[in-house]
Amino acid sequence: MRSEFKNDALNEFASRVLRVNHAGGNGAVHIYSGQIFMARFTAPSMVAELIEFKSHEERHRAIFWNEMTVRKQRRCKSYWLCGAGGFVLGVVSGAFGRRAIAATTVAVERVVLRHMEEQLVLLAGKDEAAFHAVASIVIEERQHHDRSVCHIAQAGFWSRILSPVVAAATEAVIWIGMRV
């Protein structure tokens, strides 16, 4: 009985991780969509990089969706909220140019990477399919973070203003997604 409960709790945790990461991937796709739209005017030199990042996020979202489909899971209740909020964040940050775009990416990815590292620890040896789904995207998420850092002047205005707000919003969306 007790081992069944542990398996049910683990299955529920892995399912929530997949749903929340899928919704987060949707949010990221829409952040980049909004940024691409605005960067054409405010930071044209970044458009190709943003398109590349968006294509990664589309693939990440598909990885989680495929695993959810195998498990016959529905989308997270926050899926559409992540998409709409992501697009607004992308347009707003994109309106302020290269450093704001990069500061937004750094803040989001810092939070996402920390959560994914925690997820990997909790899933290792317990749910290999969910573990591999998360592990398969960490390198690209790290690249998004590290490449975006290069666009920001050290302790620049946008980093000081956007980073705490975007990081807190990202934490809140993940927290809500894991509980609804």
Query: Considering the chain, what is the average pLDDT of its residues?
Result: 91
pTM higher than 0.85, yes or no? yes
Task: Return the residue matching tokens 């591999």.
Answer: 132
Instruction: Report the pLDDT averaged over residues 48-72.
Output: 97
Query: Using CA atoms, how far apart are residues 120 and 141, in angstroms rounded to an integer?
Result: 14
Residue 1: the pLDDT is 34
What does the pLDDT read at residue 3? 38
Residues 135/146, Cβ–Cβ less than 8 Å: no
Q: Is residue 33 within 8 Å of residue 54, measured between CB atoms?
A: yes
Which value, to the nearest 10 degrees, does the dihedral of the CA atoms of residues 35, 37, 40, 43 take? -10
Q: What is the pLDDT of residues 98-124, one digit of tens each?
A: 999 999 999 999 999 999 999 999 999
Q: Which fold has domain 2-179?
A: Ferritin (1.20.1260)
- In this predicted model, what pLDDT tens digit does every residue of 159-177 receive, in sequence order? 788 889 999 999 998 888 8
